[in-house]
Amino acid sequence: MTATHQNPRYAFRRPAALGSAMPEHARVVIAGAGVVGLTMALDLARRGVASVVVDEDDTVSFGSRAICWAKRTLEIYGRLGLGKRFLEKGVTWSRGRVFFQDQEAYGFDLLPEQGHEYPAFVNLQQYYAEEWLVQACEATGLVDLRWKTRLAGVQHNAHGALLHLTTPEGDYTLNADWLLACDGARSTVREALALPFLGQVFRDRFLIADVVMHADFPSERWFWFDPPFHPGQSVLLHKQPDDVWRIDFQLGWDADPAVEKQPERVVARVRAMLEGASGLAAPPFELEWVSVYTFRCRRLERFRHGRVIFAGDSAHQVSPFGARGGNGGVQDVDNLGWKLAAVLAGEAAESLLDSYDAERILAADENILNSTRSTDFITPKNGAAHAYRDAVLQLARGHGFARQMVNSGRLSRPATLHGSPLATPGGEGLPLGAPAPDAPVLVAGRADWLLRHIGADGRFTLLCFGAVPAEVPGGITSVLVTDDDRPGALWDHAGLVARRWQARPGDALLLRPDQHLAARLHAPEAAEIAAAHRRALGLI
């Protein structure tokens, strides 16, 4: 019954800089080989940008950690060439159930409509994602992965950062033109720059248990408020591949983490939960990984500090309920990668990177707001809040309006970048800054998906409905969508592209390389398209 997965160990490779009196030089250095740092390296490599990745460990993460990969994140991994692996290995789900005490309050479906390549969520242990990312990075030939390399110091300057690195065979220094801090919640880079977090740490503790067992529970998200098997607290259950189940138990602030992680205490909690959920004797199970955590909802004041840029948990932190941490970090990468590549290629000024701050701080604040609201509902802070929560859960059993008020973790959704400085005002339809919605299309009679044709070449995309403008400026790939079968076009045979994009014949929509909408134009001239393109590159 024991899980078969074993973390690989990656060899330390002695860098040429060891023993040299002169610092080594790299255009881009990424601190941290976790899921965000590796995704960053792969994204840049797909755009032809080489990077050095440093990490003090020699393996991927232990434990499931970020397990719920949202639809938008799966679409990003689809562009990076890993989406199929997530679908094949992961547990696909869209339905959830919420329980109050000994009864089900209601169920929900996160993706009730069809016609999307990727589902609402796929559950997959983080270590699989990281292993595949390492393999993909190595295959590019553009990612220098340096394991067993600890970042011991950072000297920030106007031209980048001087890094002091420690390895098993000695120390050396490395000059980075750009330093991307993807080194997690305990970021060495953040500490070196003495940057404080803004926000709060909630006075509560939660236990994570990865449990290996054969069980007949469906592939759904189950959340209990005040169940008989864990009275006064909450419990969350998720299915993962390899017969691994993730269970989160609320413990309360006074719980002692060292005591609560003792195997006998965890086993007793898990057995009570399994028997309470099924009404039967608990099936045989084993513990694979146990951890205790607290809720944190906070961020840096700014994510960009000259040529040092923060992404993922080094920049912002949220509670695990809602799956906003790992998904938010991957979407940081999606926003930053194309911008940095454009700057390095001389296609945009460094000021384009200020829009990363503007857009991803907005997204982080949205995630923090939703995460804070979830935390307040799950862990009421006073008697009145507790009475309100219980009343809402009672009403939810029979009244739809009350279900909208239940908050067991508002699940991750991509941010619409309202007010983006890169968007060209005007037009009607899909909001500016919105991520591109997917839809089925036919290409020469072959079934395909719209998003595979947007940003696939790393360029801007002009999505044209009915006809392509007579002249399309350089740096933009035009994609024609039609309501009939034409050579070289995407046939919107189900009408879902036009409906989801709220488009009409003659519309031309400019999409950024990260598939966010930059401009809505109708029967545009070349000068209008060029102006929207320049604005989206931060040149206007």
pLDDT digits (tens, 9 = 90+) for 20-38: 889 999 999 999 999 999 9
pLDDT digits (tens, 9 = 90+) for 471-484: 999 999 999 999 99
Domains and CATH numbers, the chain: 440-536 (3.40.30.10)
pLDDT digits (tens, 9 = 90+) for 404-448: 899 887 777 889 999 999 999 998 899 999 999 999 999 999 999
Place of tokens 């929560």: 389
Q: What is the pLDDT of residue 460?
A: 98
Q: Output 132 or 540, whichever has higher pLDDT.
A: 132
Taking the C-alpha atoms of residue 82 and residue 167, their distance in angstroms, rounded to an integer, is: 31
Place of tokens 């591949």: 241
Which pTM was predicted? 0.94
CA dihedral over 127, 129, 132, 133, signed as positive or negative: negative
Taking the C-alpha atoms of residue 32 and residue 57, their distance in angstroms, rounded to an integer, is: 9
Q: Quick one: what percent of the chain has pLDDT higher than 70?
A: 99
Helix (H) or strand (E) holding 355: helix 354-378
Question: Which range (31-40, 42-51, 71-80, 312-321) has the least confidence?
Answer: 312-321
Helix axes 325-344 and 354-378, enclosed angle (nearest 10): 180
Q: What is the pLDDT of residue 216?
A: 85
pLDDT digits (tens, 9 = 90+) for 222-264: 999 999 999 999 999 999 999 999 999 999 888 999 999 999 9
| The pairing of beta strand 244-250 with beta strand 143-146 | unpaired
Write out 148-212 in H/E/C secondary structure: CCEEEEEEEECCEEEEEEEECCEEEEEEEEEEEECCCCCCHHHHHCCCCEEEEECCCCEEEEEEE
- Take residue 296 and report the two structure tokens written for it: 């944190």
Q: What is the pLDDT of residue 4?
A: 63
Q: What is the pLDDT of residue 1?
A: 45
Question: Which range (163-172, 272-281, 527-536) has the least confidence?
Answer: 272-281
First to last CA, the chain: 60
Whether residue 107 has pLDDT greater than 90: yes
Number of residues assigned to the chain: 540
Mean pLDDT, rounded, of the chain: 93
Question: Which whole number is the average pLDDT over 140-168?
Answer: 97
pLDDT digits (tens, 9 = 90+) for 483-492: 999 999 999 9
pLDDT band of residue 334 (cuts 50, 70, 90) is very high
Q: Quick one: what percent of the chain has pLDDT higher than 90?
A: 81
pLDDT band of residue 67 (cuts 50, 70, 90) is confident
pLDDT band of residue 322 (cuts 50, 70, 90) is low
